[in-house]
Each structure stands twice: as structure tokens, then as C-alpha cells.
């Protein structure tokens, strides 16, 4: 089996060679078939190929009238055996009738006068004047004789003398169409020209067609080689709307997709390194603090119950901070990998927002933060929501706002309303605001406007990234706008479901 495969590979040809052979076959096969058909017809009709070899009597005119010539031979024999037979009207009429079937006629000339003229030539005075003179006794090969009107005539001439010595001539005349005569005379040239045209046409077609196919395929082969070597910084240029052009377009799309995938992979790798660096830094700080206080306890620095309790509370707080950081990191990782299941249910947004606003007011007032809510959502407007995870979104937004409060009078406001087919929740604070350059990065993981990575202000850098992942998991959108020194607004949009009948949570 392997031997046959190897043999097949040796016999395999390139596309260019296949095209060349196919076009050559398209040229050669018809010519061969025409030649064979002609030969077979010649054999069937004449018995051999000699007919076509002797197709032309004269090298000048190159066409023959065998039947008329043989008839003139018979006239010669009859005249020799029966002198004076060419004066017999019955004999002449019999000859004329036979010649008529060949579209020919008979003319007998005695000296300078016409003794007999077939009916078809009696009015052709130009022909009678142009007949060649007596030369010598015998049959002369025909000639093509032009006449005044442009007609052509084939002449078979038989010269002889009577017993009294008068010079006489018998002519068999056949009219020839000038166009037919020209075609027959020019046939070798026309045939050769046609053959050359066919060869040139097929050669050019083979060249251009093979070029239009092989060149794009060559470009694709070079592109595949560059991709194999890891080079993706080029463009596959294969134009056209045919199958090869479509293949080139698909190849270019594949290259772009592969390039994007590699760039994304490199970005993921960079993010992974950044993630490890950030995790190491964020975990090292509370661990260092815990170690310091533990050593203080072991070394007896905490020499009073109050001091010992303060050390223990600090250790507990730092441990909780580490636990929260690890929990957020774990949640973000699962959200990023789409491995967090959402427990969706249809939630009435007005009721949900009012309940959450009431809880938040209680929490924020304990921290001395003024809370306002303005909820104008229709009772029938509902969304598909995972309540717990969406509360996590709102909690992260509020937590982020609280961290960056820098004014003496701190305020947070919630607005809820419907816009087109979405429910909009806007959380506005009067904190320090965010610079424009930083605003477009705040939903990226581990991004902090406070680059010192102080956990008291900067947090883990995952809060808003987690919020974005959860909102997008609800088919919603989250964005922010901010004025430095005045405050920030976080806007969340969720697609709504309008209930047409009385809902399970009461009448509207």
C-alpha cells in the first residue's frame, strides 16, 4: 500500500502542469479526431487516400473536376474511333445532358467560329471571346479563366484536326464561384493560420488561467509558511470573487483571528503576571501585619489584657481582609471563566430597589453618610436577575464610593427609572471624582486610581471588575461618568420584562 502511495506521489503533477496538459488535450484531441474522421471519410468515399493526395490537378489552382476530365477523355477516344462524331447533334446533346448534371457545358469550335454551344453559355459572349486558342492536338489540363463579370470558369480543352486539316477544339466549361475558388486556393494558408491561432490562443489561455490560479495559491502557500514560522504581521492579498478569492479572504480572516488569539493569550499572560504580582502584594501586607502582632504576643509586648485584646482584634481584622481578598479573587476568576452559575428569577425592579435602598440607608447613616433615593420604576417592569449576585454589584459600587469620600458632608444618591427597554439604576456620590484618563480603566481588574495599593483606600482592585462581570452576565451594561473634585455616577442598565397580567408579587 505504501509503495502505491509513493508511486502516486511521484506521478502527481502540479496544478500548473495539469492545466497545461488539459489545454493541450483540448487542442490536440479535436485536431486528431478531425484528421481521423477525414481519413475515414476518404477511405469510405474513394477507397483510399489517393483522392485527397490528388485533390488538385494543377499546382496553381489546386482543385480538380475528375468527372469532367474523364468525360473529355471519352470524347477524345470516341473522336479517334469515329471521326466526325463531334458533328453528330444527337451525340453532342447526349454529352450536354450528362455535363448538365455536373453544372457544366460543352463548346465545339471550328477554327475561329463556334460550331456548338451549350444553352447555358450561349448568351455569355465574354466567355466565348476569352476561350484559349488552339495549341497542339491533345488534352490540356484545365485552367481557371476569369471573365468580365468576375466569374471564374474551369476549362478542359481538347485540340484536334479534322481529316481536311481544320483545327478544332472541344471545351468542357464549368462555372466556379469566386469565393469558393479563393477559399480552395487559400485553404493551406487558412488551415495553417487557424492552427497557429488555436495554438497561440490555447497557450495564452493556459498562461493567464494558470497564472490566475497558481499565483494566488502560491501567495497562500507563502502565507502558510510565514504563519508556520510564527509571523502574523502581514496581509494575505488574494483578490477576486471566485473560489480562490473566497479562500484567500477566509485565510486572511483566519490570520487575523489567530493574531488576535495570540495577542489575547499574551495579554492573558501579562494579566496573569500582574495578577500574581498584585496578589502577592495584597496578601503580603496583611500577612506581614499578622506576623508582627503574633511576634508581639509571643515576645510579651502585649503586657496587659487590653493590649492583648487589641492585638488579637487586629490579627482578626487582617485575617478577614485576606479572606475577603481571596474570596473576591476566586469569584472573579470563576466569573471570568464563565463557571459561576446564575440563579435567575423574574424580579420586580421597583420592589427590589426600594427594599435595597431602605437597607442601604440604614447602613450608610451609621457611617454618617447622607442617603437619597428617587425610584420611578413601573410596578410591572421586571428583569431576570440573580438577586444575591446583583446585590454584590450594588454593594461593590457603594463600597467603592465610600472609600473615596473626601468631603465633610458626604452624600450618595440612588436614581431608578425606565429608559426604552431597560431599567436604569444610577448611583451618584460627591467624592473626589475620577480623572478622565483613569475613568476608562476603573472596570479592569486590579486597577486602582490610588496606586499606592493602600487597602484602606485602594481596596483589592477587583470590586468594579466583579460588578462588570455580573452585570454582563445579566445581559446588561455598566459604565461611569465623573467630574474630578465633584463626584462620580455609576450607571447600570438591565433589560426588562413587562408583565401584561397580574404578577405573583401583587397587583400593579
168 and 210 belong to one structural domain: no
Residues 6+ apart with CB under 8 A from 20: 206, 210
351 contacts: CB under 8 Å, gap ≥ 6: 379, 505
C-alpha cell at 158: 481538347
Mean of per-residue pLDDT scores for the chain: 77
Q: How far apart are CA 466 and CA 450, in angstroms?
A: 18
d(CA 398, CA 456): 15
Domain termination residue (choose one: 335, 370, 389):
335
Percent of the chain beyond pLDDT 70?
A: 73
pLDDT of 55 reads 46
Of all helices (H) and strands (E), which one includes residue 168? strand 167-176
Give the residue-averaged pLDDT of 398-409. Answer: 87
State how far the Cα of 488 lies from the Cα of 357, in Å rounded to an integer. 18
Q: Are residues 473 and 436 in the same domain?
A: yes
Given a cut of 50, whether residue 92 has pLDDT beyond it is yes
Whether residue 348 sits in one domain with residue 403: yes
Q: Which pLDDT band holds residue 390 (cuts at 50, 70, 90)? A: very high
Residue 23's pLDDT is 66
Q: Is residue 236 part of a domain?
A: no
Which residue has better confidence, 239 or 347?
Answer: 347
Q: What pLDDT was estimated at residue 140?
A: 81
Same domain, 446 and 317: no
64 confidence band (pLDDT: 50, 70, 90)? low
Domain shared by 169 and 189, yes or no: no
Whether the per-residue pLDDT at 177 is higher than 70: the answer is no
CATH number, domain with residue 168: 3.30.450
Q: pLDDT tens digit string along 481-502?
A: 999 988 999 999 999 885 544 4
Residues 369 and 479 in one domain: yes
Name the domain boundary from 167, 195, 227.
227
What is the DSSP pairing of strand 381-385 with strand 422-429?
unpaired
Asked if residue 465 and residue 363 are part of one domain, the reply reads yes
Distance set, CA 320 to CA 272, 308, 326 (Å): 24, 18, 10
- Whether residues 272 and 381 fall in one domain: no
Q: What is the pLDDT of residue 243?
A: 72
In a domain, 42, yes or no: yes
∠ CA 220-225-231, nearest 5°, is 105
Q: Which of 66-70, 95-99, 177-181 has the highest mean pLDDT?
A: 95-99
Classified as helix, coil or strand, 95 is helix
Report the predicted TM-score, pTM, of the whole model to 2 decimal places: 0.47
pLDDT tens figures, 279-336: 676 677 778 888 888 888 887 777 788 888 888 888 888 888 777 777 767 766 666 6
Strands 152-161 and 381-385: unpaired
Q: Which pLDDT score is estimated for 184?
A: 62
Kindly tell me the burial class for residue 350, based on how many C-beta atoms sit within 10 Å of its own C-beta (0-12, 13-18, 19 or more): buried
Angle at 83 between CA 80 and CA 87, to 5 degrees: 125
- Domain hosting 43: range is 13-54+185-227
**pLDDT at res. 38:** 64
Statement to judge: residues 435 and 456 lie in one domain = yes
Q: Would you say residue 8 lies in a domain?
A: no
Q: Is residue 1 part of a domain?
A: no
In a domain, residue 6? The reply is no
Q: Where are the alpha helices (DSSP H) in 135-242?
A: 178-228
Q: What is the pLDDT of residues 124-145, one digit of tens each?
A: 777 788 788 888 888 886 655 5
Query: Which pLDDT score, from 0 to 100, does residue 123 have?
Result: 80
Does position 186 have pLDDT exceeding 70, yes or no? no
487-495 and 477-483 beta bridge pairing: antiparallel
Cell of 451: 496606586
**Residue 103, SS3 per DSSP:** coil
Is the domain of 323 the same as that of 423?
Answer: no
Cβ–Cβ contacts within 10 Å for residue 219, how many? 16
Q: Considering its fold, how many domains does the chain have in total? A: 4
Amino acid at each position: 500500500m505504501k509503495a502505491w502511495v509513493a508511486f502516486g506521489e511521484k506521478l502527481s503533477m502540479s496544478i500548473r502542469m495539469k492545466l497545461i496538459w488539459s489545454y493541450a488535450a483540448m487542442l490536440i484531441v479535436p485536431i486528431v479526431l478531425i484528421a481521423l474522421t477525414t481519413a475515414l471519410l476518404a477511405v469510405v468515399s474513394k477507397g483510399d487516400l489517393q483522392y485527397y493526395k490528388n485533390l488538385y490537378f494543377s499546382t496553381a489552382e489546386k482543385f480538380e473536376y475528375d468527372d469532367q476530365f474523364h468525360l473529355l477523355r471519352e470524347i477524345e477516344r470516341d473522336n479517334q474511333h469515329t471521326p466526325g462524331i463531334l458533328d453528330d447533334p444527337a451525340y453532342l446533346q447526349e454529352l450536354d445532358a450528362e455535363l448538365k448534371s455536373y453544372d457544366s457545358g460543352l463548346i465545339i469550335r471550328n477554327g475561329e467560329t463556334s460550331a456548338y454551344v451549350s444553352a447555358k453559355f450561349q448568351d455569355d459572349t465574354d466567355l466565348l471571346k476569352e476561350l484559349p486558342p488552339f495549341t497542339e492536338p491533345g488534352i490540356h489540363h484545365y485552367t481557371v479563366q476569369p471573365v468580365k463579370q468576375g466569374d471564374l470558369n474551369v476549362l478542359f480543352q481538347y485540340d484536334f484536326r479534322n481529316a481536311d486539316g481544320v483545327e478544332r477544339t472541344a471545351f468542357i466549361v464549368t462555372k466556379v464561384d469566386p469565393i469558393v475558388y479563393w477559399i480552395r486556393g487559400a485553404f493551406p494558408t487558412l488551415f495553417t493560420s487557424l492552427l497557429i491561432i488555436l495554438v497561440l490562443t490555447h497557450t495564452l489561455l493556459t498562461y493567464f488561467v494558470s497564472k490566475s490560479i497558481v499565483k494566488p495559491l502560491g501567495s497562500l502557500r507563502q502565507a502558510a509558511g510565514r504563519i508556520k514560522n510564527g509571523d502574523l504581521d502581514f496581509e494575505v492579498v488574494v483578490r477576486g470573487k471566485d473560489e480562490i478569492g473566497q479562500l484567500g479572504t477566509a485565510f486572511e480572516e483566519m490570520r487575523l483571528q489567530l493574531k488576535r488569539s495570540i495577542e489575547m493569550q499574551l495579554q492573558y499572560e501579562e494579566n496573569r503576571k500582574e495578577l500574581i504580582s498584585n496578589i502577592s502584594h495584597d496578601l503580603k501586607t496583611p500577612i506581614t501585619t499578622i506576623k508582627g502582632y503574633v511576634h508581639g504576643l509571643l515576645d510579651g509586648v502585649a503586657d496587659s489584657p487590653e493590649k492583648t485584646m487589641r492585638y488579637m482584634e487586629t490579627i482578626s481584622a487582617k485575617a478577614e481582609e485576606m479572606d475577603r481578598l481571596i474570596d473576591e479573587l476566586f469569584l472573579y476568576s470563576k466569573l471570568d471563566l464563565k463557571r459561576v452559575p446564575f440563579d435567575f428569577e423574574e424580579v420586580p425592579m421597583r420592589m427590589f430597589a426600594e427594599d435595597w435602598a431602605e437597607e442601604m440607608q440604614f447602613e450608610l447613616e451609621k457611617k454618617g453618610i447622607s442617603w437619597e433615593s428617587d425610584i420611578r420604576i413601573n410596578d410591572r417592569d421586571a428583569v431576570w436577575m440573580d438577586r444575591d449576585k446583583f446585590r454584590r454589584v450594588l454593594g461593590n459600587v457603594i463600597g467603592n464610593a465610600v472609600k473615596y469620600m473626601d468631603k465633610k458632608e458626604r452624600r450618595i444618591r440612588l436614581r431608578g427609572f425606565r429608559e426604552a427597554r431597560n431599567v436604569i439604576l444610577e448611583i451618584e456620590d460627591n467624592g473626589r471624582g475620577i480623572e478622565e484618563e483613569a475613568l476608562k480603566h476603573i472596570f479592569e481588574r486590579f486597577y486602582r486610581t490610588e496606586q499606592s495599593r493602600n487597602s484602606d483606600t485602594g481596596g483589592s482592585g477587583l470590586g468594579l471588575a466583579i460588578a462588570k462581570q455580573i452585570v454582563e452576565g445579566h445581559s446588561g451594561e455598566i459604565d461611569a461618568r465623573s467630574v474630578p473634585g465633584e463626584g462620580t455616577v455609576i450607571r447600570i442598565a438591565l433589560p426588562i420584562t413587562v408583565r401584561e397580567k397580574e404578577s405573583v408579587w401583587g397587583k400593579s
